[in-house]
Amino acid sequence: MGKFLDSVDAKALRFAIGFPVVLAGAFVFGASLLRRDLPEPLAIRWTDDGGAAFAPFGAYVGGGALVIMVFGWLFLYQAVPLGRPVLMRRIMMGAGLSLDLFITSALAAGLVGQAGVADARESRVDVTVLALGSGAALSLGVVMAFVYKADQQWSMEDDRALQVAIAKELDPDLTRDSMRLWVHARSSVFIMIAIASVFPASLIAIAVPWLGILLVVLAFFGAAFLFARIKADRAGLKVLLAGVVPVMDIPAGSISAASPADVRAADYGGWGYRNHGGTAAMLVSSGPAVVVSKTDGQRLAVSSGSPASAARLAEVLTRVAARARRGGGPAPAAGGHPES
């Protein structure tokens, strides 16, 4: 998904998807306002003598809305890929807009021409609506082709990327002093949670559906809390339960030592977040972890996934703590830190 978004103009993509949908919705709404004045069935093809082929109102309006969306998506998308020439993208954006508006005008002209007619065989396409709509479609398409900025524009993301690049250039050790990782319980634990919740919930749902759903939701949240995101940088150590709930935020200057260890979750009160007796822990399983000693005497234990990541996390925390004690302080927040 990331590679796809990097290869397209995000703003143009949103317009290419959204505009045909909005236009089709406007057509359906307008047709519903004329519904009481239209014959049944409606003419969908005309000859010199009047209507020659017919369809129900729903088929005419629904099929017309589908045509508006499909042709709009097909043509407007040609302006989305960044790899295409700028001139081609501008032309296709204008042409797609013109085509979609022309189709809508033609469909609307057919409806207006049948308004107030008892028999669709006596109807004609309203030439005034068709001419005005076609003229507007052409002129708006030309305007769109000129105003559409197909060149890549500098954005806030580019500003942030530039700031990160400058920070790395000025401080080559910045990357070494930053680490991000996700930790989670073993897959067997999640299988056990699923078995212990889904099967009973399916039986309970027969009698009390909402209670079965509640049991599954609680199991889902319980499993989510066996995930944690760990951030270590020059600001210190942060641990987010389920990736969103902050449970630990330790400034680098408050860390006196950090070392990898092989721990038992039972020694710290079990899985998940625990905080008692001057010891806090965020353990998703027994095994590799980092034990952190604070300057106030408290101890922390954080799961680290593997012995290698435990050693690296301990190394980063030791280094940033030493830097903070020397007065180096955390890196400026605006520069950000790259993900590991």
Query: Do 177 and 71 belong together in one domain?
Result: no
In angstroms, what CA-CA distances link 120 with 33, 55, 85, 104, 287? 18, 10, 47, 20, 78
338 within some domain: no
Condensed to tens digits (0 to 9), the pLDDT of residues 307-335 reads: 898 899 888 888 888 888 877 555 444 34
CA-closest candidate to residue 22, choices 80, 81, 76 = 76
Structural domain containing residue 323: 171-185+226-332
CA dist 33 and 9 (Å) reads 37
Is 32 a residue whose pLDDT tops 50?
yes
| Residues whose CB falls within 8 Å of the CB of residue 138, separated by 6 or more in sequence, listed in order | 98, 102
Confidence of residue 97 (pLDDT cuts 50, 70, 90): very high
Number of domains in the chain: 2
Condensed to tens digits (0 to 9), the pLDDT of residues 103-134 reads: 999 999 988 888 888 888 888 888 898 999 99
Query: Do 95 and 175 belong together in one domain?
Result: no
Token duo for residue 92 = 């296709």
41 within some domain: yes
Token duo for residue 69 = 């969306």
Q: What pLDDT was estimated at residue 139?
A: 93
Query: Do 80 and 181 belong together in one domain?
Result: no
CA-closest candidate to residue 109, choices 95, 129, 124, 81 = 129
7 within some domain: yes
211 within some domain: no
Q: What is the pTM of this model?
A: 0.49
Query: Do 181 and 279 belong together in one domain?
Result: yes
Query: Do 138 and 179 belong together in one domain?
Result: no
Query: Do 180 and 97 belong together in one domain?
Result: no
196 within some domain: no
Q: What pLDDT was estimated at residue 330?
A: 53
309 within some domain: yes
Query: Do 260 and 114 belong together in one domain?
Result: no
14 within some domain: yes
Query: Do 179 and 35 belong together in one domain?
Result: no
CA dist 5 and 28 (Å) reads 32
Q: What pLDDT was estimated at residue 333?
A: 42
Residue type at 264 in one-letter notation = R
Query: Do 47 and 180 belong together in one domain?
Result: no
Exposure string (b/e) for 145-162, b if CB count within 10 Å is 16 or more?
beebebeeeeeeeeeeee
Q: What angle do CA 23, 26, 27 make, to 5 degrees?
A: 90
Task: Check which CATH number belongs to the domain holding 298 and give it.
Answer: 2.30.29.30
Is 19 a residue whose pLDDT tops 90?
yes
28 within some domain: yes
